[in-house]
Copies of this chain bind each other. A is one copy, B any other.
């Protein structure tokens, strides 16, 4: 049984991590470290340092804080010999995650950079279907209402908070999973509200190694129905992944439509990884985001009020 401590008891921890840990054998939550919040039925600490000091038998640390502080916490936990589960994005920079991978290897512990959308119900089947075809064009539409999904999260609008790339990186995590070839970022434009540091909208122009065009639109201003779609045109038919990867249509016919079980599946994976002292930390989605910021044209847009 993995004795786990969770750091950062915010929305994603309560909505997803706590129920998933409850559901999965092999892992139990014994402690929470949070500045303002208290976990029920566990030991509570103000921060990671106090938790590590107070729980010498802890096996693993689950990091759910904003990405800006994830690296320092992960480094501290790895240096204490703990296995580490990183909520996405796994760091504020790619080189932070590279450093954590090297440190986990040195310490002989598990590092899991989780990408929940890769565990959506239809992703594996989409990957298998694409593997037998030639990709000709991909179109990504990732449109949601930031006020609904990220209320009261000022960090997400700060530098290193990713803005609309916080959901957008989910699309990129699916893209880099279902397409076998490496993806190249060619150009981007970033719509940044005048009163914020991070983009509220983005358009990306990418390509596969063999030259197929990939266009993506991320938008956080979508009220009404939400859209998380990836359409893949191939030499032998059209694939549409929707509902963030939980629904699959092939040439228009629904093949998969399943409820989201992403986090329980991830915790099953984490238990297996810890058993094997293995590292699973793919930086491909984060590298594409860094490239989008590197080459992206900044387009100032209207102030955003929460």
Chain A residues packing against B (C-beta within 8 Å): 68, 71, 92-96, 98-99, 102-103, 158-160, 182-189, 192, 197, 209, 287-291, 293-298
B residues less than 8 Å from A184 (CB atoms): 71, 93, 95-96, 98-99
CB-contact partner of A294 in B158, B182, B192, B289, under 8 A: B289
Most buried by B among A209, A288, A295: A295
A298 and B186: CB pair below 8 A?
no
With A182-B95, A197-B298: A290-B288 Cβ-Cβ less than 8 Å: no
B residues less than 8 Å from A189 (CB atoms): 159
Please measure, in the bound complex, the distance between the C-alpha atom of A288 and the C-alpha atom of B182, giving whole angstroms.
20
B94 and A290: CB pair below 8 A?
yes
Chain A to chain B contacts (Cβ below 8 Å), 24 pairs: A68-B295, A71-B186, A92-B187, A92-B294, A95-B184, A95-B185, A95-B287, A96-B291, A98-B182, A102-B182, A102-B209, A103-B209, A158-B297, A159-B188, A159-B295, A159-B296, A192-B298, A197-B297, A197-B298, A287-B290, A289-B294, A293-B293, A293-B294, A294-B294
Please measure, in the bound complex, the distance between the C-alpha atom of A189 and the C-alpha atom of B159, giving whole angstroms.
9
Determine how close the nearest CB of chain B comes to the CB of A7; give it in whole angstroms: 19
Please measure, in the bound complex, the distance between the C-alpha atom of A171 and the C-alpha atom of B88, giving whole angstroms.
31
Determine how close the nearest CB of chain B comes to the CB of A163; give it in whole angstroms: 11
Determine how close the nearest CB of chain B comes to the CB of A46; give it in whole angstroms: 23
Most buried by B among A92, A95, A98: A95
CB-contact partner of A295 in B93, B102, B288, under 8 A: B93
A160 and B182: CB pair below 8 A?
no
Most buried by B among A94, A96, A102, A183: A94
Please measure, in the bound complex, the distance between the C-alpha atom of A60 and the C-alpha atom of B174, giving whole angstroms.
38
B residues less than 8 Å from A298 (CB atoms): 159, 192, 197, 298
Determine how close the nearest CB of chain B comes to the CB of A220; give it in whole angstroms: 18
Q: Which residue of B lies closest to A209 (CB)?
A: B99
The 8 closest A-B pairs by CB, nearest first: A93-B291, A159-B297, A290-B290, A290-B294, A160-B295, A293-B293, A99-B184, A293-B294
Determine how close the nearest CB of chain B comes to the CB of A303; give it in whole angstroms: 14
B residues less than 8 Å from A68 (CB atoms): 295
Please measure, in the bound complex, the distance between the C-alpha atom of A295 and the C-alpha atom of B296, giving whole angstroms.
13
Please measure, in the bound complex, the distance between the C-alpha atom of A103 and the C-alpha atom of B208, giving whole angstroms.
12
B residues less than 8 Å from A185 (CB atoms): 93, 95-96
Please measure, in the bound complex, the distance between the C-alpha atom of A31 and the C-alpha atom of B206, giving whole angstroms.
32
B residues less than 8 Å from A294 (CB atoms): 92-94, 160, 289-290, 293-294
B residues less than 8 Å from A289 (CB atoms): 294
Please measure, in the bound complex, the distance between the C-alpha atom of A288 and the C-alpha atom of B287, giving whole angstroms.
11
Q: Which residue of B lies closest to A72 (CB)?
A: B186
